Amino acid sequence: MQFSANQIALILSGNIEGNPEVKVDSFGKIEEAKNGQIAFLANPKYEDYLYTTEASIVIVNDSLLLKKEVNATLIRVPNAYLAFATMLEKYQQIKSQQPIGIQDPIYKHPSAKIGEDVFIGAFVYIGENTVIGKGAKIYPGAYLGNNVAIGENATVHAGVKIYFDCQVGANVTIHAGTVIGSDGFGFAPLPDGTYRKVPQIGNVVIEDGVEIGSNATIDRATIGSTIIRTGAKLDNLVQVAHNVEIGKDSVVAAQTGISGSTKIGKNVMIGGQAGIVGHIHIADGSKINGQSGITKSITSPNTAVTGSPATEFTASLRSQASLRKLPEMEKRIKALEIMLKELKDKK
């Protein structure tokens, strides 16, 4: 599908500099884009590519002052990065459109309810009393257990498994291979050294607008609910344990593990491979650096931490700077020891 500069400017409420009729049909990075592609420039360090790119259209910030002539048609917007994201979203919506309807074969329990305008792919399992909302998309091979609720316009990609009693809100996206509602890791140690499984009878509640990456696992609560609040975003390969709560609009990068009953506030940012112990609280707006180990609660909002065990970010940077100086300090101490010895020998 092709878009003209005029059409793109209309979508983005941008201003055109150049040929308004030029058309593009794909996307490219500004340093690699070819004729017929659209690119964007948001980071000033890539500005030199603007004057050499072969892209037909480039989205730029209103504030950009040109150093020389450009060949591409420019579309000026307040925020080039967000505008380019909008175009990618439009493109994805077009590419991912599925025909409305139900493919064959599927299994649907007679008590299950399916809303209007849904897409359900082949080999989907829909359990007893499960409800699928209007406009939802359930891709092939997905499993929806008994008493599952899927909200309007939610997307459940291929191979997702959603266990019994779990709830998925409206406009949620769950990517392939993710498991929602598997048992929490609850085992009681016995005197003989063995372990007795603690039944996990709660559920998982995923509120509206959440996105969950591929091969993530969100465990059901022992009692009550594991909750992912509105607008939260989880990357691929994230582990969320039983009774965890992740706050509104928080983001969690890949390979992070969050232990049981931890409560994470809103607008928290967690870097990749972070590990968070159980039964603690993470304050609103906290920023946790990648590979950090969080061993105690973060009580002050908007705190940034790093390291394992994690400490306040700027203090940790000072410590790292001091560590880098240790070899030189060691040399100086040895030199001072030699000087002291020489002075002692002279007495």
Provide the CATH number for the domain around residue 124. 2.160.10.10
Residues 164 and 120 in one domain: yes
Residues 151 and 250 in one domain: yes
Q: Which of 95, 125, 155 marks a domain boundary?
A: 95
Beta strands 195-197 and 187-189 are: antiparallel
Please give the pLDDT value at position 52. Answer: 96
Please give the pLDDT value at position 347. Answer: 66
Residues 91 and 202 in one domain: no
Please give the pLDDT value at position 344. Answer: 80
Secondary structure (DSSP) of 135-189: T-EE-TT-EE-TT-EE-TT-EE-TT-EE-TT-EE-TT-EE-TT-EEEEPP--EEE
Number of domains in the chain: 3
Residues 126 and 262 in one domain: yes
Note whether 55 and 39 are within 8 A (CB): yes
pTM of the predicted structure, to 2 decimals: 0.81
Domain with 138 in it? 101-315
Angle of the 326-346 helix axis to the 313-324 helix axis, nearest 10: 50
Residues 285 and 140 in one domain: yes
Instruction: Considering the candidates 175, 242, 279, 281, report the single residue annotated as catalytic.
Output: 242
Q: Which of 28, 61, 95 marks a domain boundary?
A: 95
Residues 89 and 108 in one domain: no
Q: Which of 75, 95, 115 marks a domain boundary?
A: 95
Please give the pLDDT value at position 103. Answer: 96
Tens digits of pLDDT across the chain (347 residues)? 789 999 999 999 999 999 999 999 999 999 999 999 999 999 999 999 999 999 999 999 999 999 999 999 999 999 999 999 999 988 887 777 777 999 999 999 999 999 999 999 999 999 999 999 999 999 999 999 999 999 999 999 999 999 999 999 999 999 999 999 999 999 999 999 999 999 999 999 999 999 999 999 999 999 999 999 999 999 999 999 999 999 999 999 999 999 999 999 999 999 999 999 999 999 999 999 999 999 999 999 999 999 888 877 777 677 777 778 888 888 888 888 888 887 887 76
What's the half-sphere exposure (Cβ side, CA atoms, 13 Å) at 115?
Answer: 17
Residues 146 and 284 in one domain: yes
Rounded to whole angstroms, what are the CA distances from 106 to 103, 139, 141, 181, 272?
7, 11, 9, 22, 37
Does the active-site annotation cover 242?
A: yes
Angle of the 80-95 helix axis to the 5-12 helix axis, nearest 10: 110
Residues 272 and 328 in one domain: no
With a CB cutoff of 8 Å and minimum separation 6, the contacts of 210 are 169, 172, 173, 228, 229, 230, 231, 232, 233, 234
Burial of 57 (0-12, 13-18, 19+ CB in 10 A): buried
Residues 90 and 105 in one domain: no
Residues 183 and 54 in one domain: no
Cis peptide before 309 (omega within 30 of 0): yes
